[in-house]
Amino acid sequence: MPFSVKQHQQIHFYLLVLFCFFLPLWSRVAVFALILVILNALASGLLWQHRQRALGPWPLLFSSFYLLHLLGMLYTSNTAEGLLDLETKLSFLLLPPVLFAIPLPAPSDRAKILRAFLFGCVAATFYCYACASLLYLRTGLNAFFYQYLAGYVHAHPSYL
């Protein structure tokens, strides 16, 4: 049973909330939500209907970051690492047209998405502190340094 346009927009919104919440907490779920966002955009037909907005200057500006990495592949001698980097940054190519093509229904939705990201950051922080506390209580090792704390959510310390 096909969904209506309004239902696709609601699915799009909730998948973005899911993506933003799990981005700092559990990156595998965030990537899965991102794939679902792209599939929903393709299934809804909104990407095709709003192709002018999807191929406008702002989405192309953000997607050009990926194109610069693609151009950088001409200069690298380590193609295996370069291809892995291109795979990692593929969302820079696919996500801007999707995000610009499907508008959010209400301005308050942006605040809800931002709030979901904030709660995800707070949850990731509490999780890192809890893991470091348990490690300290069990073994006496101090893992409260930023480079160790970020390891619990498999992130670079600067992301925290």
* pLDDT tens-digit map of 116-137: 999 999 999 999 999 999 999 9
* pTM as predicted: 0.81
Instruction: Tell me which residue has tokens 């995000």.
Output: 99
Q: How far apart are CA 49 and CA 64, in angstroms?
A: 22
The position carrying tokens 């930023």 is: 146
Residues 4-38: tens digit of each pLDDT: 878 888 888 999 999 999 998 888 898 899 889 88
Query: String of b and e for 63-90 (b: at least 16 CB within 10 Å)?
Result: beebeebeeeeeeeeeeeebeeebeeee
